Amino acid sequence: MGKQFGSRATADEVLKDFDFTGKNAIITGANSGIGFESAKALAKVGAHVILACRSASKANEAIDKIRAEVPNASLEFMALDLASFPSIEKFTKALKIDQVDLFIQNAGIITDAYNTTPQGHEMTAGVNHFGHFYLTKLLMPLLLKGKARVVVLSSESHRQTLGLNLKKWPQSEKDFGFNSSYAKSKLANVLFATELQRRYGAQGLTVASCHPGNMVTTNFGEGTALTKVLFKLISPFTKTPAQGASTSMYCASQPDSFVAGNYFSGNEKTTPSFLARNKKLAVELWDYSESEVAKYLKQRK
């Protein structure tokens, strides 16, 4: 049974009684918002944190901010663009650690403009799902060596889609809608997390997915004009990034048996949507993702 915290708890409060000294943590999108607060909270309890981000300047600025508060913080920036499979490969080859103890799949986007990744995936699906899938695949030896905890940030938005037809996903430009694309990618996050647990739990991985909270005040919504305005209007009623990061930290720190394969919201175990609990769909998504990776590798030769 996990320790009980309120939905307004902060990341620091969740980790207050934990010591991550000697643990290696990778956080995607750690230069701002929830990822930044997660990196700071983990640094405070002794973890070596790798900030996996696109922008060197923003990541180094984040590191300076954390070290101003935590002078002995063990932090490292490594360049990573989740839209680019070659960037993911370069990131994993450049790692200097011998194992990964904690992997927080925090980075995510939402955009109202249709774009594709270099691999040809619709951008939201490409970053939110396929990029993390390929990164996990390449990190697997280090994850298994560390018997890692993997935390996949999803969203309650995963409930806002009626299906995930893999023959039509990722969406084409003709069928693109930013809310639909985001919801499907967040459903994919939950399905991926549960299938990752099923496949690798016996080898030591512990995997959870989570919703950080409704309307956390970050720069996430700046991807579309509509969400940017909406986030501004409701900002007096939202969670802070430190409160939003608490659910990630909760999943990172609670007992294996409590966390494994489950979905969390507001620091509580929660039942995801009916579709997210579809084991057949989870297997189909995994197999489809593997086929997309294989297609990329074949084209690369």
**Residues annotated as part of the active site:** 182
**Helices 279-300, 132-145: crossing angle, 10 deg rounding:** 100
CA distance linking residue 180 with residue 152, whole number of Å: 20
Question: Quick one: residue 39, left, alpha or beta (phi over 0 = left, psi -120 to 50 = alpha)?
Answer: alpha
CA distance linking residue 116 with residue 170, whole number of Å: 10
**Helices 241-253, 33-44: crossing angle, 10 deg rounding:** 50
CA distance linking residue 79 with residue 88, whole number of Å: 9
Question: Quick one: residue 266, left, alpha or beta (phi over 0 = left, psi -120 to 50 = alpha)?
Answer: left
CB 69 within 8 A of CB 40: yes
Residues 6+ apart with CB under 8 A from 59: 30, 31, 51, 53, 77
CA 149 to chain centre: 12
CB 247 within 8 A of CB 211: yes
Both tokens assigned to 4: 């009980």
CA distance linking residue 285 with residue 190, whole number of Å: 11
Question: Quick one: residue 262, left, alpha or beta (phi over 0 = left, psi -120 to 50 = alpha)?
Answer: beta
Both tokens assigned to 264: 């969390």
